Copies of this chain bind each other. A is one copy, B any other.
Amino acid sequence: MSKVYVVGVGMSNVGRFYERSLRDLAAEALFKAIDDSGNLTPEYVVVSNMLSSQAEQENLASLIADYCGLRGSSGFKVEAACGSGGAAVLVGYSLVASGLAKVVAVVGVEKLSERTTPEVARGLAYAADADFELPYGISFSGLNALVMRYYMMKYNVKREEMSAWPVLMHENGYYNPYAHLRMRITVDDVIKSPVIADPIRLLDSCPISDGAAAVILTSEELARKYNDTPVLIAGIGNALDSTDISSRYELDTFLASKLSAERAFKLAKLSPKDVDVAELHDAYSINGVVTLEDVGFAPKGMGAKLVAEGRFRIGDKPVINPSGGLKSRGHPVGATGVYQVCEVVMQLRGDFPGVKVGGEVGLTQNIGGVGSNITTIILRR
């Protein structure tokens, strides 16, 4: 298999941009990434997005490519709910590795601020099973709350221990100039914040954000020619679980997290202990904790406890979510997986403008649904 490198990254700020359009955000990220790559021209524009249909817009590859002066290039949208970004990077990887393209841009974008909170909540639930889950009136937060309740009960995890996750995220995100919520919080703040879906509280939950991120992928030959700091995609893997959680074998573990990580590590010929820095998908505190364990960074049932004991912060190995994660950086749904790749690439290059980790090996894991579609990517300097 041919080697594939990330040679350019670009991000818009994450937040609520009432005055900006989807294509405007996408263009900012794409132009920054092209510029960062040494001005490579993408042959493919692969777009990741989940909910533009709510704004009556599909066909985004054509829309964004044309807006950015790339009429005549190739492209399409990749969707895997909140895991769209990671899946799109996997597609970009395969386009380069197959030889179909030499230069591929993957652009993740989501623009939700013009919608009401109920509309967004409804849209996010498209990731669940519309025939066999949603008719019972459960929300996406409600589904994750079931996982959190079960996990806390099974492993005797205290509310204070679960709260350490969002506190660490905000500590990291405070230094990230791209982050949506740049504020410090305490365990007490989390525990006193309003209940969203018991036991999930407001400060367990990521904000829903606008934002766009882009990466430029290319072959080894071009990577070395145009770029001084190419970062290798050493491993990549995706896995699917059931859409509905009622038919899962286990609720406190995500099969797709384990499988996708195993596939990525196998391809990279690396293991969890080699990872210096990781960006995990913490749409809710419980997702961060469960995937910390499923990827192999913590023993089962110990994720929240270890974070509460002070692990996974700067100086430790691995450092988790120096960006602030979904909790603080924010969650521009279909773009999140691409943000993660941008952030880890910048960590390995040493130019991330927030909490700096450095290191040689990084990992991203991006989740769609309640663990139903997960992509893990391993990056190496």
Contacts and interface: CB of A to CB of B under 8 A. Distances in A.
Interface of A: 1-2, 21, 23, 44-45, 50-51, 53-59, 61-63, 65-66, 70-81, 83-84, 87-88, 90-91, 93-100, 122, 125-131, 134, 236-243, 247, 255-256, 259-260, 263, 368-369, 372-373
19 contacts: A21-B131, A56-B122, A57-B130, A58-B127, A61-B240, A62-B242, A71-B241, A72-B256, A73-B239, A74-B263, A75-B80, A75-B373, A76-B78, A76-B79, A76-B83, A77-B79, A78-B78, A98-B99, A100-B236
A138 to B, nearest CB: 13
Given A61-B80, A97-B100, A130 B55 contact: yes
Most buried by B among A21, A93, A130: A130
A65 B243 CA distance: 9
A2 B241 CA distance: 30
B243 A126 contact: no
Contacts of A45: 240
B1 A100 contact: yes
A239 to B, nearest CB: 6
Q: Is the interface of A mostly helix, strand, loop or mixed?
A: mixed
Given A61-B373, A97-B100, 8 more contacts: A50-B58, A57-B129, A59-B369, A59-B373, A62-B240, A72-B256, A74-B240, A90-B100
A242 B70 CA distance: 9
A45 B241 CA distance: 12
A368 B62 contact: yes
Contacts of A73: 239-240
Nearest to A100: B94
Given A130-B57, A368-B62, A76 B87 contact: yes
B238 A74 contact: yes
A62 B372 contact: yes
A334 to B, nearest CB: 10
Contacts of A62: 80, 240-243, 368-369, 372-373
